[in-house]
Amino acid sequence: MRLRVAGVIVLLYAQPLTRVVQLTVDDVLHDGEAMLLRLGEPASPVPAPVAALLLAYIANRGNMNTATNQASRWLFPGRRAGQPARPDHLSALLGEIGIPVAAARSAAIRQQLLELPAPVVADALGYHDKTTSRLLRETGGTWSRYAAGNHTRSPPGWAPRGTHGS
């Protein structure tokens, strides 16, 4: 189950394993109905099937048997007490079950950028906006003219066409 959860985080949220292993159970926000994963601001929603998998995994995390690891907050506790799992070890295990982490992560972020503006992806997934902008250019995405910011208010003096008696 550990590999399934790690793989889903890489595939859905385009996260590097160095970041995945740094997640704690406190980064999984669950209010009984919705679940969010704190990767950036705002936290990212977790689809229902993944939420169920994540909850089941948290309830039965591995490497919790040693006396010093029983209170570990790491989502992926390592074999050494108080330490998270090693990203290189997790990468090798994921590779063995058919998830090439680097290629999967790259494909996931590029797909996100084709569906959402680069600044939105950067904020939600904790990426730097220059990284997502560069990847967007490389993918040939259509969000190159998106202006980040609050679009709910009109600029001062602006009025929609046809509202001045025309």
- Tens-place pLDDT, residues 74-83: 999 988 878 8
Determine, yes or no, domain membership for 26: yes
Residues 41 and 50: their CA atoms lie apart, in Å, by: 20
- Return the ∠ at Cα 132 (arms to 128 and 137), rounded to 5°: 145
79 CB-near residues (< 8 Å, 6+ apart): 63, 85
State the pLDDT confidence band at 166, using cuts at 50, 70 and 90.
Answer: very low
Q: What's the number of domains the chain is made of?
A: 1
Residue in 95, 101, 79, 98 with CA at minimum distance from that of residue 20:
101
Please report, rounded to a whole number, the percentage of residues in the chain having pLDDT higher than 70. Answer: 80
Determine, yes or no, domain membership for 135: yes
- Average pLDDT along the chain: 82
Please report, rounded to a whole number, the percentage of residues in the chain having pLDDT higher than 90. Answer: 40
Determine, yes or no, domain membership for 32: yes
Over residues 107-124, mean pLDDT: 84
Determine, yes or no, domain membership for 150: no
Full residue range of the structural domain in which residue 25 is found: 2-62+74-139
| Side-chain-side CA neighbours of residue 78 (13 Å) | 16
Determine, yes or no, domain membership for 164: no
SS3 content of the chain, % helix, strand, coil (to 5): 45, 5, 50
Residue in 35, 46, 36, 6 with CA at minimum distance from that of residue 22:
6
Please report which helix (H) or strand (E) contains residue 67, including its range: none
Residue in 5, 115, 17 with CA at minimum distance from that of residue 61:
5
- Its pTM surpasses 0.75: no
CATH number of the domain enclosing 127: 1.10.443.10
Select, from the ranges 93-97, 128-132, 158-162, the one with the highest average predicted confidence (pLDDT): 93-97
Over residues 143-152, mean pLDDT: 54
**Candidate from 5-14, 42-51, 90-99, 146-155 with smallest mean pLDDT:** 146-155
Residue in 110, 161, 102 with CA at minimum distance from that of residue 137:
110
Determine, yes or no, domain membership for 161: no
